[in-house]
Amino acid sequence: MSLLLRRAAAAAAAALVLSPAAASAAAPSNDDRASATALGSLPAQVTGTTVEATRATTDPLSACAGGGPQVWYRFTAPADGRIAVRVRADGNLDAIVDAYLSERSQTRSVACDPTDASGIGALDFKAAKDKTYLIAVSQLPNSVAGTFTLTVVRPQPPPSPPGPALPAGGADGTLDRVGNIEDAYAVRMRAGHTYRLRLTGRGEDACGVTGALYEPGTGDFDSSPVKRFGCDKDGYATFTPGPHEGGRYSVLVSVPSGVRTLRRYHVEVAGAGFDDTSPGRFLANRSTASNRLNGARIDALDLYRFTVARRSDLALSLSTADDNAFDLLVLNDRGRRVECTCDDTRSPGGSQGTGSGDIELTREIAPGRYFVAVRVRDRSAGAYKLKRVSRLLTRTSIGIDRRTTLGAAARVAVRVRPGVRGPVTVTIQRFDPLAGWLFYRQQHATAINGRAGFGFAAPTVGRWRVRATFDGTTGAGSSASGFAQTLVVSRDPT
């Protein structure tokens, strides 16, 4: 063979060896469950990839979603306790992290979590000493392949009841699903005394934590609490120990499994004042109450009370500065919601915003005892003014002689119920067969004990009608009657 032919053959052989079909990348070494990467002692942090990974038909399916190619890791639990797992996907990789208990050839799912918009997935579970666990990182079927970082740790040991004493001004803390899942604090409570509990986020963090109150003598936090409370808007609660239930309670602050990042919080417990629980501050009619609220601390709600003797029009106005997000909640004396501007949701015909930080709530209200709660949303803070105006709901009716003679006065009688004193305006109209009803004039009178009247002498024959309006007072609302008609005829029928 000539030198030229030998060189051509060698080049062709080299091209064949280097072609994509012959030089495809190998799958990751931990592509198979049987060859899962051993993590060794905890804590452990490793990098991995789903590039060229596959999925065996015998592999378990994730409880979170249908998984695609996956890689495997394993470890043996060094002791009984909680294990936390976090995966941080790089680039555009979307993945699921699963934890399985491995027993011989069988696996049992114990937890799973898909990565979020930031590429983070996290889970935790209770592990048993000397048991083997498998961690699978699966690429979503419609995701691109990519690299990731996997962290497996034993979180800080869970707190034991009752915990350190909660300071008078509350405590700040930081929780996450990997390092520190729960914090506990001890508070002393007396039977028959009402206490406020407040849980909020700190800084720019969304809250993302939950609170629970445990009774004195609680041995562990696996039992049911006597009170649960959320965070920020729902993070305000009250609790009153019953007879023989005073003592040292525990407040447990926890981060739920769906939270993947650090969460800073503030928790506080304090005795309730007269404006924090019933009976609340009395709100007199046509009076204005002023106070301050701080949603980042314990002062997140003020309670007021008032009484309505007869069916009335109620108007409540709440003025705050700087668009502070406060709710205005009206309850009856059985605790049933009557009206609320909660989350700026307005009931039809009920309440409306009137400008920066202002809320107007108006409605008809039946006789009874009522409560008004002014409360913060999230961590809003600032001063407010609350004004109440209640006016009796009135009904006005009018009557007139149905037929009268020209020159004679028809009797007009106005009735206002209930029997209040106040101004009445009567509008008089005449009928024109071509133009219809036309305004003639108004007559003003004063209702005494709900009654007013006068005589009306029509200047011409024809059909006339009257309508009365009670113009209202500081204590009674306005109302209007329907129309009453009279026919004025000539004395001489010819």
Q: How many CB atoms lie within 10 A of CB 453?
A: 16
Tell me the C-alpha distance between 392 and 311, whole Å.
6
Q: What is the mean pLDDT of the segment spanning 461-490? A: 96
Tell me the C-alpha distance between 209 and 146, whole Å.
32
As a residue count, the chain comes to: 494
In the prediction, which pLDDT does 205 show? Answer: 59
In the prediction, which pLDDT does 494 show? Answer: 58
pTM to 2 decimal places: 0.71
User: Does the structure show a pLDDT above 60 at 241?
Assistant: yes
Q: What is the DSSP letter of 109?
A: E
CB-based contact 459:486 (threshold 8 Å): no
Domains of the chain: 33-153 (2.60.120.380), 171-271 (2.60.120.380), 306-391 (2.60.120.380), 395-489 (2.60.40.10)
DSSP annotation string for 61-72: PPSSS---SEEE
> What does the block give as tokens for 400?
């007139």
In the prediction, which pLDDT does 73 show? Answer: 98
In the prediction, which pLDDT does 23 show? Answer: 41
Tell me the C-alpha distance between 339 and 331, whole Å.
7
pLDDT in tens, 263-296: 899 999 999 999 999 999 999 999 999 999 998 8
H-run or E-run covering 15: helix 3-18
SS3 content of the chain, % helix, strand, coil (to 5): 5, 50, 45
Q: How many CB atoms lie within 10 A of CB 463?
A: 15
C-alpha distances in angstroms, 194 versus 189, 274, 275, 276?
Answer: 9, 10, 12, 9
Tell me the C-alpha distance between 214 and 227, whole Å.
7
Q: What is the mean pLDDT of the segment spanning 130-149? A: 94
CB-based contact 427:395 (threshold 8 Å): no
Residue 193 pLDDT class (50, 70, 90 cuts):
very high
Which residues are 151's β-sheet partners? 45, 86
Residue 134 burial (C-beta neighbours within 10 Å; 0-12, 13-18, 19+):
buried
Mean pLDDT over the full length of the chain: 88
Residue 294 burial (C-beta neighbours within 10 Å; 0-12, 13-18, 19+):
middle
User: Does the structure show a pLDDT above 50 at 353?
Assistant: no
- Residues of the chain with pLDDT > 70, as a percent, come to 89
Residue 321: alpha-carbon gap to chain centroid: 22
In the prediction, which pLDDT does 22 show? Answer: 38
pLDDT in tens, 418-472: 999 999 999 999 999 999 999 999 999 999 999 999 999 999 999 999 999 999 9
Which residues are 270's β-sheet partners? 196
pLDDT in tens, 111-129: 999 998 889 998 889 999 9
Residue 493 pLDDT class (50, 70, 90 cuts):
low
Tell me the C-alpha distance between 266 and 5, whole Å.
81
Query: Between 65 and 335, where is the model more confident?
Result: 335
pLDDT in tens, 196-226: 999 998 866 567 899 999 999 999 998 999 9
Place of tokens 């239930």: 245
